[in-house]
Chain A
Amino acid sequence: MKPLLFFSVSLLFIPLLSCQEKTPDIQTSTPSETRKIYVERSSLFDNYSDQKLQVADFVELYFNLMYDSTLEDRNALWDSKILTHQ
């Protein structure tokens, strides 16, 4: 069995599932690679703790890493050990 580090990250790349097995890509114009993806935050954040803000920052960081980093970098941010136990 392959290590789960690889496996868990695969979840992030699961395309939309449908009765036709695959759906078309959704694309926009070619972006500048240096631009940053911003993750909006709902009004609930007005009262959030620093820890929750840190969680949101981490999600935003990962969104940007998804496109501009190595698989190893992305894997390092996941806790993955289930399949390796089988």
Chain B
Amino acid sequence: MKGNFEKGFFFQYAPQILGIRAMSDNRYEVKLEVQQSGITFKIMNLIVAFDGLNRPYFIDQFGENLTEFDAVRKETLTFLYSKKVAKNDSLEQKMVHFNQKLATLFNISPKSTSVIVLKNLKDYCDVIGYDYMTFLTHDVQTGGIALPEEQILFSANNSPYYPHELVHIYTADHDPHYWFDEGCATYLGGSVEYPLEHHLKKVAAQMDSLDFSELPKDQKLDDETSLKYSLGGLFCKLAMEEFGGRVSLLILLNSGKTEENFHAALKAVFGIEQKDYDAFVKEKLRKYKG
């Protein structure tokens, strides 16, 4: 319901109840639309019931749907499979190993996480009760998201293996600028099923026409690759492999959230200032070109 919308968004673009349908058991299905300037962002179904004192409350339809999922427990991970996804023992094991690898890197015990395994984005919408979200119009119909506070990740990828989102479960213990958060997840876990190097090669191929002096200004190269994920990943890779190792990576992951924090972290780890960004990044990208 809230999504990523600031409160002010709803002052300007009031959500609308399209209709309310009476169901059985004194329940009601509310169809709610959120739009901006006539463009629909999402249409969701909320289920409301009444208690014995005639007080309304929401039914947790996702939780109800989850009871139909098949659960597989492996060490500290619990995989909850949609009926549309076949179980995959080897990919579960691969995820468990990756979880252990992250625990070692971050020097903590392996995180206990529930991995909600879904066929695709449509399956994700069906399970949480959404009729429409804008991503349903994208060419790529897979994705994922991590909810670190709840220790849950959604793998809408037809697979129990989604390393990128699992990294976010660990980076949430720190205070990274979002470039370093996504960068670390891409460095360690890839993005849209491709490793960091795949994305860096695409950025490098276009770097002569790109200006990196305005970072952290983001730019999407296509549906798969953006500067935020790619160069964020490059910074994390360089920190880990060339500029001090784990200590430097943690400096990036404890950078703070602001743009000033972003610049300060790059200065601390790489000794560069904004005027240096374009030359520094292009020099480091050169090995990925051609």
Given A21-B185, A78-B60, also A41-B4 (CB < 8 A): no
- In contact, A17 and B18 (Cβ under 8 angstroms): no
Given A19-B138, A21-B185, also A62-B1 (CB < 8 A): yes
Within 8 A of B (CB), among A6-23: 6-8, 10-23
- In contact, B3 and A30 (Cβ under 8 angstroms): no
- In contact, B223 and A58 (Cβ under 8 angstroms): no
- In contact, B15 and A39 (Cβ under 8 angstroms): yes
- In contact, B14 and A37 (Cβ under 8 angstroms): yes
**Chain B hits for A28, CB < 8 A:** 6, 8-9, 11-12
A25 close to chain B: CB less than 8 A: yes
Q: How many A-B residue pairs have CB under 8 A?
A: 196
**Chain B hits for A22, CB < 8 A:** 145, 178, 182
Nearest Cβ on chain B to A37's Cβ, whole angstroms: 4
- In contact, A52 and B154 (Cβ under 8 angstroms): no
**Chain A hits for B220, CB < 8 A:** 20
Contact-residue size bin, chain B (C-beta under 8 Å from the other chain): 35 or more
Distance A12 CA – B1 CA, assembled complex (angstroms):
5
Given A14-B128, A59-B17, A83-B66, also A19-B140 (CB < 8 A): yes
**Chain B hits for A31, CB < 8 A:** 6-8, 11
**Chain B hits for A15, CB < 8 A:** 3-4, 145
- In contact, B150 and A10 (Cβ under 8 angstroms): yes
- In contact, B11 and A80 (Cβ under 8 angstroms): no
Q: Which 10 A-B pairs have the closest CB atoms?
A: A82-B63, A19-B140, A31-B8, A8-B60, A40-B16, A58-B56, A28-B8, A15-B4, A67-B7, A37-B10
